[in-house]
A and B are shown apart, each in its own frame.
Chain A
Amino acid sequence: MAIKEVSIGDIGTRAAFADGEFKGEELMINMGPSHPATHGVLRLKVELDGETVVKCDPVIGYLHRGDEKIAENMTYNQFVPYTDRLDYIGPIHNNITFAIAVEKLAKLEVPPRCQAIRVLCCELARLQSHLLGCGVYAMDTGALTVFMYTFTEREKLYTLMEQLTGARFTTSYARIGGLARDIPDGWLGRVLKFVNELEPVLDEVDKLVSRNRIFYDRTVGIGVVTAEDALAYGLTGPNLRAAGVPVDLRKDHPYSGYEQYDFDVPIGRNGDSYDRWLVRLEEMYQTIRIIRQVIDKMPEGLWYAEEAKKILRRAKTKF
Chain B
Amino acid sequence: MTTEAIDNLSQKLEYLSNRPSLDYPAFNCPQDRILDCLQYCKKELGFDLLCDVTAIDHFETSPRFEVVYHLYSTRNPAYVRIVTPCVGDENPEAASVTGIWAAADWHERETYDMFGIQFTGHPDLRRILMWDGYPYYPLRKEFPLAGHEVDLPAADVVERTGVKVLPAPMMGGPFHAGQTGPMSKREPRADDESWTETKLQKELEKPHKPRELSEPKE
B174 near A66: Cβ-Cβ < 8 Å: yes
Q: A72 contacts which chain B residues (CB < 8 A)?
A: 145
Known: A64-B129, A69-B145. A247 touches B74 (CB 8 A): yes
Residues of chain B having any CB pair with chain A under 8 Å: 22-23, 48-51, 59, 74, 77, 79, 101-103, 107, 114, 127-131, 138-139, 141-143, 145, 174-176, 195, 210-211, 213, 215-216
Residue of B nearest to A251 (CB): B77
Q: B174 contacts which chain A residues (CB < 8 A)?
A: 64-66
Alpha-carbon gap, A48 to B77, bound state (A): 40
Of the 9-residue stretches A147-155, A157-165, A231-239, which lies at the interface with chain B?
A: A231-239
Residue of A nearest to B52 (CB): A234
Nearest Cβ distance between residue B143 and chain A, in whole angstroms? 7
Interface CB pairs A-B, < 8 A, 21 = A61-B127, A61-B129, A61-B130, A61-B131, A66-B139, A66-B175, A68-B139, A69-B139, A69-B175, A70-B176, A73-B145, A73-B195, A105-B22, A231-B49, A234-B49, A234-B50, A234-B107, A236-B51, A247-B49, A315-B213, A318-B213
Q: B48 contacts which chain A residues (CB < 8 A)?
A: 231
Q: B77 contacts which chain A residues (CB < 8 A)?
A: 247, 252-253
Residue of B nearest to A63 (CB): B129
For chain A, the bracket of interface size reads 20 to 34
* Known pairs A69-B145, A232-B102, A315-B213 / 18 extra A-B pairs, C-beta < 8 Å: A61-B127, A61-B128, A65-B175, A66-B174, A66-B175, A68-B139, A69-B175, A70-B145, A73-B195, A231-B74, A233-B103, A234-B101, A236-B49, A245-B74, A247-B49, A253-B77, A253-B79, A318-B213
Nearest Cβ distance between residue B109 and chain A, in whole angstroms? 10
Alpha-carbon gap, A107 to B59, bound state (A): 26
The winner among B22, B23, B74, B139 for most chain A CB atoms within 10 A is: B74
The winner among A316, A317, A319 for most chain B CB atoms within 10 A is: A319
Alpha-carbon gap, A301 to B213, bound state (A): 38
Main SS class of interface, B: loop
Is A60 close to B, CB under 8 A?
Answer: yes
Alpha-carbon gap, A69 to B136, bound state (A): 14
Q: A310 contacts which chain B residues (CB < 8 A)?
A: none
Alpha-carbon gap, A319 to B216, bound state (A): 18
In the A-B complex, the 5 residue pairs with the smallest Cβ-Cβ separation, listed nearest first, are: A234-B103, A252-B77, A61-B129, A66-B175, A64-B129
Q: A107 contacts which chain B residues (CB < 8 A)?
A: 22
Residue of A nearest to B76 (CB): A252
Nearest Cβ distance between residue B88 and chain A, in whole angstroms? 21
Residue of B nearest to A75 (CB): B216
Is A213 close to B, CB under 8 A?
Answer: no
Q: A236 contacts which chain B residues (CB < 8 A)?
A: 49, 51
Q: A317 contacts which chain B residues (CB < 8 A)?
A: 210
B195 near A70: Cβ-Cβ < 8 Å: no
Is A104 close to B, CB under 8 A?
Answer: yes
Alpha-carbon gap, A16 to B14, bound state (A): 67
B216 near A69: Cβ-Cβ < 8 Å: no
Residue of A nearest to B77 (CB): A252
Alpha-carbon gap, A49 to B74, bound state (A): 36
Q: A318 contacts which chain B residues (CB < 8 A)?
A: 211, 213
Encode contact with B along A66-96: 1 for CB under 8 Å, 0 otherwise.
1011101100000000000000000000000
Nearest Cβ distance between residue B169 and chain A, in whole angstroms? 14
Alpha-carbon gap, A318 to B195, bound state (A): 10
Partner of A232, one of B103, B175, B176, B213: B103
B103 near A69: Cβ-Cβ < 8 Å: no
The winner among A107, A234, A314, A317 for most chain B CB atoms within 10 A is: A234
Alpha-carbon gap, A253 to B195, bound state (A): 41
